[in-house]
Structure 1
Amino acid sequence: MDELIEKAVGRAIDVMCQKMGEQVTLDDMARAAMFSKFHFSRIFQRATGISPGRFLAAMRLQEAKRLLLCTSLTVTDISQQVGYQSVGTFSSRFRSSVGISPSTYRRLGGVSLLVCGTDTRRHPASNRPATVHGWIAVPSFPVILGKIFVGLFPDRLPQGRPVRCAVLRKAGPYEFNDVPLGTWYLLSYSAVAGRAPVVPSARDHGDGLYVGCHGPITIRPETQVRPADLRLRPMSRLDPPVLLDVGTLQVVSS
């Protein structure tokens, strides 16, 4: 990626961090990046995989998760601190993205139960069920990772319910059967073994987290899917926040 673009997008993300509890506009972000807002939106999407607005929303929910685990602030106070004027809207967005309500997330200490499966009303099955398979690799330098989450999502943001997912004990092969028609992104996450299961602040940029992405993968009735391999790398400031808790995720099949 062009260094100029990376620095410009980084400046916009810094503004998001500094003004998380305020109403941050696209003009504010573009001004920090020193681009026109129309050009800024394109380069931000290219650099991060998602739009500036979705990136900011994900950062707010990540900070909310951290505050729920690390402070005694009420849910209402947290919602206001991360930029929501309505606690009802905040709770609804949190549940749809993380999978459980803010109060339940706090009570369970950040442990999330993720159900993997397919909503056939939204993702019709193919007459020729597709299999997505491949290999998850880890960095070659000495680093010991914990469990590895891998899943298929509609885009580059890991939120909500993936269409297929699994947790691997170590690097190696994975396989998803009966993948529905559509276009998916294979996202994988892990954390350094022994890392405290505390959600990082937005300013930490996911210290100790490793990520990987492969896609888009398009499933059509006549398409034979090639192996989808990926290698985990250290998370950077340009990677969308991980709204699913890799270290505490428990996965069951539907």
Structure 2
Amino acid sequence: MRLEEAKRLLLTTSLTVADISHQVGYNSVGTFSSRFRSSVGVSPIAYRQTRGATTEMPAIGRASAVPRPMVKGNIAGPDATPVGMVFIGLFPTPMLQGSPVRCAVLDRPGPYTLHDVPPGTWHVLAHAVPPGAEESLSNRPYLGTHGPITIRPGITARLADLKLRRMHVFDPPVLTALLDVRSAALARLRTAQQLPEAV
């Protein structure tokens, strides 16, 4: 929750990183910066300077030469509510923080596949922001969860269906810089489709 508030302050105020770290309860700017980077994916200064516009989200681990299992399923949107792009990833805990082991960005709810999943126990987490509200920190995003699921040698695929719902006030905060992924995905779509930038 402290890091979630720090994200908000970095984007909405001109406070220094040191002031923000103290305001959210850290005595050491170094500790704050280290925890921010590990949870959000970028440093506090980079997060502010780019307003979350990083080019890609690194996934933990490397692709294997030996085919490994996949996790696939369907993401259902809330009934009669436009959702827009959906981020989905595999995380070691039921909290959207740090880098996922595998991830994808979908242009809308629907089927997904995460390839080359390493052995382990993972949580499948999906996140979406209502269209037109991507840069608003006050709009409650959508969340979908499944798991934990365990991947063992010999498994070829695991099914994990999710249904998106509005985040509740008691849900853990979203710390991973997901808006960055959405911006990068939109940029890739514009390039691939040669669409003009929105005015």
For residues 12 and 41 of structure 2, the distance between their equivalents in structure 1, rounded to whole angstroms, comes to 19
**Structure 1 residues 246, 144: closer, same or farther in 2, change over 3 A?**
farther
Instruction: Please tell me the residue identity of whatever aligns with 1:138.
Output: G
* Cα displacement (A) at 1:150: 0.3
* Cα displacement (A) at 1:127: 5.5
For residues 169 and 101 of structure 1, the distance between their equivalents in structure 2, rounded to whole angstroms, comes to 27
Match of 2:118 in 1: 180
**Structure 1 residues 217, 125: closer, same or farther in 2, change over 3 A?**
farther
Identity %: 51
Q: Highest Rg: 1 or 2?
A: 1
Match of 2:2 in 1: 60
Instruction: Please tell me the residue identity of whatever aligns with 1:171.
Output: P
Aligned with 2:130 (options 167, 175, 192): 192
| Paired residues of 1:117 and 1:162 also in contact (CA < 8 A) | yes
Structure 2 gap segments, 5+ residues each: 189-199
Aligned with 1:72 (options 14, 20, 43): 14
Aligned with 1:164 (options 98, 102, 115): 102
* Cα displacement (A) at 1:107: 0.4
Match of 1:110 in 2: 52
Q: Residue 137 in 1 paired to residue 76 in 2?
A: yes
- Greater per-residue helix proportion: 1
Match of 1:211 in 2: 143
Q: How many residues align?
A: 184
How large is the RMSD of aligned CA atoms in angstroms?
A: 2.1
Correspondence list, 1:1-254, <5 A: 59-119=1-61, 129-140=68-79, 142-195=80-133, 197-200=135-138, 207-249=139-181, 250=184
Structure 1 gap segments, 5+ residues each: 1-58, 201-206
For residues 58 and 88 of structure 2, the distance between their equivalents in structure 1, rounded to whole angstroms, comes to 11
**Structure 1 residues 145, 80: closer, same or farther in 2, change over 3 A?**
same
Instruction: Please tell me the residue identity of whatever aligns with 2:106.
Output: L
Report the TM-score, using the length of structure 2 for normalisation: 0.85
| Paired residues of 2:94 and 2:123 also in contact (CA < 8 A) | yes
Instruction: Please tell me the residue identity of whatever aligns with 1:130.
Output: P
For residues 229 and 213 of structure 1, the distance between their equivalents in structure 2, rounded to whole angstroms, comes to 9
Report the TM-score, using the length of structure 1 for normalisation: 0.67
What per-residue deviation string (whole Å, max 9, x for no partner) do you get for residues 123-168 of structure 1? x96965101111111011x321121000000011111110100110
